[in-house]
Structure 1
């Protein structure tokens, strides 16, 4: 029996607001080298991409970690893995959430993967509501009233996170990843460090077990997101667009890190400025390290985060 296709629906509007937030696929070893594939990927991302050899992973003997460049900064975006008798010459290509945010040509990437006869094994579709237009509580109510019911049966559910105080963020899981489809509804802003944020993310993880993930999911994202569960079809019109979501994520994360830097080292910096002849510039140069913190998504910086935005968010977090 052939695997059944992923359920899809009709997109309520033409603009694509659902984002790819993770991509795994496999394909037979291509005619091009790893270096050639990395170079071609750079064209899809619209920026230089480099690779560094790494150890094996997920049953593959070897891997190459992929990094994207923005100005003088680089950030990990995924990997290529290959080798191993059980893999029979196949490669694994993975783009993380940060890597997916850099892709500017999903149609081109789709064409590339189709030309390689790739098999999509995992695709995550995310829709963001920055002002809490739809919430975790609403998702719980929708689940209880049958909004996520398919074929007459409700999918499994699970709650995780801070459901007593809510400051650290809460998550509702619907379905199971090992069954090929799972919805995560979680408070993204609070996860990033803003305890008062209303930013909620609805994210569907599609897997290839017992189903085929068609390439259309890469370019017709809204339709596939809406078609995953009945309750999701009406959400698209209120979703935030990609760039505002990226900048908001950068603001929240950087402000959270500034808050903790001040809390942990603010007195030290003040003492050094007051008791020594150090200047502000001296202090910054002494402690500055070129690079970006692991928690900061380089794609959010590329989207145009400003110091004024970070200051405003920091003031909010500090209250």
Structure 2
């Protein structure tokens, strides 16, 4: 067997790499970090396929208090920015479109919305920002909140509570924050439109937070139990100190309410969540598992490219996720969420009003008459609303009658 570069021998052993596989890796000149990652992927594949798990479950040989020998993310770079060391997250080519964006915060100069052509009022800025957001996401500002947020003087609601726009103070910047619901509701292709616009903005423009998510609907590829096992194997260690781990939910006697694993600390800029998504939504038998990696611009520069290749960045965020390669469909995620919410709501209604409805049917003479007496037309419970930019109620801020001199046509011309 050919000599391989320095790597985590214990990890390779637990992954049952054959002599032929090691020879091939050596011939390809793979770096140690790539060998480690390949070993992780092999272990996941073989255990998932029902292979011998005894070796995989042996206690790890690494020292719990020291640094792991698993290498940092492949391709990660450290650069100096204003005298501070900043990490640029890695990409892993086989991630493809295996993930999606589930939250994003962008901060940019207010001048990027008007290209600095002329001074305008705060109200005009709000209308211009609203129009730009509709152009990118499919929804604009619907209302102004009573208070500011995130240390800005003013804040506005985007769409049907799909996110926030914050403006005023903060060195003349604007924060646009799109929540997970907003990312699901946004018009298809928003990631590319946002990427292109950010590329055209000035040097102060940056992504301050992005959440990358992967859904395993059947739970066959990953689970919360696997996440704990990977933590014990140091597969959430990216070359530094071992991160913190927190387990929430009933782990001793799982009761169908869902379990969650948190890896790391949010204030450090990188944080992983692995949880039983289907059970969180109310389906106690669901095997749907979600993997999330939250990246913040804390000693980290988040490339705009993450909008176009979220799977590649998620696969590289932790060695434990390097196996991710399946494509994701956000529409399927929305559909499954709606199905679970509907089934759970029907079960709740049956428990709460089922007997009353039977009595009302006897009194009113028919089920139709009883249902008609209870029905509230045009009112959809919040949990049954399917996020979508198409479902618009009322006007966006930039579409309303203008009081200030700047018209919508003027604002569009400023771009």
Query: Shared fold (TM-score greater than 0.5)?
Result: yes
Matches of 1:29 and 1:297, distance apart in 2: 33
Task: Pick from 158, 165, 177 the counterpart of residue 94 of structure 1.
Answer: 177
Task: Pick from 188, 194, 198 the counterpart of residue 109 of structure 1.
Answer: 194
Structure 1 residue 286, shift from structure 2 partner:
4.1
1:308 is aligned to none
Tell whether 2:102 aligns with 1:17. no
Choose 1 or 2 for highest CA Rg. 2
2:218 is aligned to 131
Q: Secondary structure at the match of 2:143?
A: strand
Q: Secondary structure at the match of 1:100?
A: helix
Deviations 1:238-274 (A, max 9, x none): x643222221111011211121121111222222222
Tell whether 2:89 aligns with 1:7. yes
Matches of 1:297 and 1:115, distance apart in 2: 35
Tell me the TM-score normalized by structure 1.
Answer: 0.84
Structure 1 residue 289, shift from structure 2 partner:
4.9
Task: Pick from 112, 119, 143 the counterpart of residue 52 of structure 1.
Answer: 143
Q: CA 1:7–1:88 in 2, change beyond 3 Å: closer, same or farther?
A: closer
Question: Which runs of no fewer than 5 residues in structure 1 stay unpaired?
Answer: 68-74, 303-319
1:34 is aligned to 126
Tell whether 2:143 aligns with 1:78. no
Alignment coverage as a number of residue pairs: 291
Task: Pick from 337, 343, 355 the counterpart of residue 255 of structure 1.
Answer: 343
Tell whether 2:311 aligns with 1:217. no
| Equivalent residues of 1:130, 1:240 under 8 A apart | no
Q: Which one has a larger percent strand, Structure 1 or Structure 2?
A: 1
Q: CA RMSD in A?
A: 2.3
Tell me the TM-score normalized by structure 2.
Answer: 0.65
What does 1:1-319 align with in structure 2 at a 5 Å threshold?
1-2=80-81, 3-12=85-94, 14=96, 16-30=97-111, 31-32=113-114, 33-45=125-137, 47-55=138-146, 56-67=148-159, 75-84=160-169, 87-103=170-186, 104-105=188-189, 106-117=191-202, 118-133=205-220, 134-151=222-239, 153-166=241-254, 167-237=256-326, 240-277=328-365, 279-280=367-368, 283-284=371-372, 286-296=374-384, 298-299=386-387
Matches of 1:193 and 1:223, distance apart in 2: 31
Matches of 2:348 and 2:151, distance apart in 1: 39
Matches of 1:299 and 1:281, distance apart in 2: 32
Structure 1 residue 201, shift from structure 2 partner:
0.4
Matches of 2:201 and 2:142, distance apart in 1: 20
Q: Secondary structure at the match of 1:299?
A: coil
Q: CA 1:152–1:41 in 2, change beyond 3 Å: closer, same or farther?
A: closer
Question: Which runs of no fewer than 5 residues in structure 2 stay unpaired?
Answer: 1-79, 115-124, 391-415
Matches of 2:178 and 2:135, distance apart in 1: 15
